[in-house]
Amino acid sequence: MFQSAQHLPDADTRLTAERLIQRGVVTLRDIERVAPNLTIQSINGTASTNMYLRGDGFNDFTQSNMAPVVTYFDDVPFAYSTMASGLMFDLADATVTPGPVGTTHGQSTTGGEVRLQTADPTDTWHYGASEDIASYARSRSEAYVSGPIAKNLDFRLAGQTRQGGGWQTDPLNGSHLGDANSWALRGKLRWRPDSRTTIMLGGHFVQDDSEVVTAVPVKRLIGTQPLPSLGWGQAEWSSRPQFADLIGRKRGIKPSEHNQFWGWDLHIDHDFGIAKITSITAFETEREGEYTDQDGTAAAQADTYRTVDANVFTQELRLSSSRPNDRLQWVVGAFYQRSRMNQRFFFDYTDYTPARGYMMATSFGMNQESTSEFGHVSYRLPHHLTLFGGLLHELDDRGITGLQSQIFGRGTTTFHRESTAANQFAGQVGISWQMTPGTLLYYKMSKGFKPGGFTANNTQIQAQLLPFAPETVLTYETGFKSDIIANKLRINAAAFYNDFHNQQILGTILIPNFGPLSQLTNAPKSESWGFEGTIEAHPIKHVFITQNLGWQRGNFQNFPTVNRAATNAYYARTGHWKAINDNFAGVDNGQPKLTLNGQAEWRQSLTNQLGLDFGPDWTYRGSQSITPGGTGFYRLPPYFLLGAHVSLRPTSGHWEATLYASNILNRQYFESSGQATTTYFYIPGAPRFIGGRVSCGF
């Protein structure tokens, strides 16, 4: 698979749609199970995600800042990760790119990108559907139709619905939680007026009213009230009628989403013979209403409702070489992005007494605009050597406006506007050597850049709105790609070193007489290093094995901030808040050191017309600390998950029937963690699911 990519000097993980379906990749978060050194975590069990690639990423609850790892759909970058929710269907392929990017397309980033391509229209008629039913009454239904409308005019329409699957229950009243309830549509219209021009118009709509996974408290940080004793699959939550009335939702609301996303994109490609021009215009919207219980108890100590109203316009224009066999390959282009966002957070602290005992709301607006110019060139020398390099310049301007913090029944505090601007260069240089027809060696140095931003959650003082600085990284990478035995053994591997300046980290600020709050800040100096690799083996007849391996280490070389663990411990001893400041120089960056995922298959022909394949798959993620320097309960335990499948399919490929299981051992594990006022909590992962999937396509 992806044979031509074996001659590209990168460490990308490329995945077919078939592999994604086989491994049960149906959400953005699932991609971490099929790529090395990648961690994708749900934020408080919701549809919003944070990504970490090679240890680079940050925890942004508000999702109002640019992430170090950006998600693309059909070459359109999504400024906010939540916008990708509900779109993982009718895919063509996926690519995970680690390290700084931006000299060939789109935006500059420091951590990398996840690129998803959806299936295009076809000039002949095709249609198909699939039904997936599993434990806890979970169902996923998909369908598509594609074909010609008129001469040189084709279309594709695809849809998905997701229902059920909730596996949490409240031991206090037996209430059920976690059912999916969403549907999505995507359409594409392709016009080819001549052999050199393609115009593609796409659009999508997602409605998501799913319930979310709720937190499990593991440590009480404030007060002496005992934590609930919970079994595997149990959780507590609360919803006071007064709070439901305040946020305008029905009484008895469960932790859930009420989200709507829609957008469109226009791709225009024209080949002049000596060069190709590409224009990508897109508009994306997000309308989010999200209720979470962040203390994980039946008390109203950190019940939260968040609304988001955001839209993003992007325009990319690039000119590139159009003859792939030429020694000289090049691309130049420009990218523009404009985003507008308004958020409002409601908090119910009624049972958090005597410290608070009230309901409050924080609201703000975020305006952002950026432009960038980029270029990349490669030249193939004699003896199979290729030199390549690229340069990017980006200007980013963003400001936070109209921020108010209102305590109902007590008063409102208004904060003045803050703004930040960045004007930076990024780039790349490298060399590759096609040592043999099946072996490529490469080395490259890349500088990545990511603009600064703001923390705007539960704001109490103006100092919380001070912008954090842009992040830059200088990455050194060397790797090889080798088909050691053609069609039998492939090994791709890369090693890297990241030298960060002002790495953006979720730190802590202490508010007098209030307590510690999370604040995005900068670690002036930090580093990470490691390697990743993929082995694809076909050692004997019928047996096919894929193994991804990622290992990384990192530490802060200079990072002065409030030590949250020590500050909480001091309060527990004395009953008074005092900031315990520390410098985390030499402290591990907290990211999982080891990630493993893979699968083994036995592929067998039963008849001339029918085939069978079956086998296990596995995932391992090492321990992770969300809080800098975190130990004990501040560090997520490692976990190992085992799955399996058996599939029956004809050689025609017109249908497929699969039985599968995930988390066969029914291991209790936790995917992310955090702190909300009185407790430190974990977000639990899903238990064992057993299901079946039937699909057909013609």
The domain in which residue 377 lies consists of: 3-120+128-697
Residue 62: predicted pLDDT: 79
pLDDT > 90? residue 567: no
Rounded to whole angstroms, the Cα distance separating 535 from 474 reads: 28
User: Looking at residues 237-258, what average pLDDT do you find?
Assistant: 94
Residue 577: predicted pLDDT: 83
- Reported as a single tens digit per residue, the pLDDT across 90-124 is 999 999 999 999 999 988 899 999 999 999 999 99
Rounded to whole angstroms, the Cα distance separating 580 from 570 reads: 8
Tokens encoding 126? 């095709």
Of the candidate ranges 4-8, 154-158, 565-569, the one whose mean pLDDT is the lowest: 565-569
Residue 510: predicted pLDDT: 79
For residue 627, with 0-12 CB atoms within 10 Å meaning exposed, 13-18 middle and 19 or more buried, which class applies? buried
**Rg of the Cα trace of the chain?**
25
pLDDT > 80? residue 513: no
Residue 221: predicted pLDDT: 85
**What percentage of the chain has pLDDT greater than the value 70?**
100
The SS3 assignment for 61 reads coil
DSSP state of 28: G
Those residues whose C-beta lies under 8 Å from the C-beta of residue 687, and which sit 6 or more positions away, are 167, 232, 233, 663, 666, 668
Contact 270, 277 (CB under 8 A): yes
Amino acid at 637: P
User: Looking at residues 635-646, what average pLDDT do you find?
Assistant: 96
Name the pairing type of β-strands 581-583 and 560-562.
antiparallel
Sheet of strand 91-98: strand arrangement: 13-16, 91-98, 112-118, 69-73, 76-78
Query: What is the pLDDT of the chain when averaged over all its residues?
Result: 93
pLDDT > 80? residue 460: no
Give 360's Cβ-side CA count (13 Å radius).
20
More confident residue, 165 or 60: 165
Per-residue confidence band for 643, with pLDDT thresholds at 50, 70 and 90: very high
Residue carrying the six token digits 């699957």: 165
Number of domains in the chain: 1
| Phi and psi, residue 637, nearest 5° | -70, 155
- Reported as a single tens digit per residue, the pLDDT across 279-331 is 999 999 999 999 999 999 999 999 999 999 999 999 999 999 999 889 999 99
- The enclosing domain of 134 has a CATH number of 2.40.170.20
Residue carrying the six token digits 């040592």: 435
- Reported as a single tens digit per residue, the pLDDT across 658-685 is 999 999 999 999 999 988 788 999 999 9
pLDDT > 90? residue 629: no
* Number of neighbouring beta carbons within 10 Å of residue 606: 10
- Reported as a single tens digit per residue, the pLDDT across 33-62 is 999 999 999 988 888 899 999 989 888 877
Q: Does residue 236 come out as left (phi exceeding 0), alpha (psi in the -120 to 50 range) or beta? A: beta
Rounded to whole angstroms, the Cα distance separating 25 from 29 reads: 8
Peptide bond into 687 cis (omega under 30): no
Rounded to whole angstroms, the Cα distance separating 528 from 535 reads: 24
pLDDT > 90? residue 465: no
Tokens encoding 43? 């934020």
Task: Give the predicted TM-score (pTM) of the model.
Answer: 0.93
- Reported as a single tens digit per residue, the pLDDT across 338-357 is 999 999 999 999 999 888 89
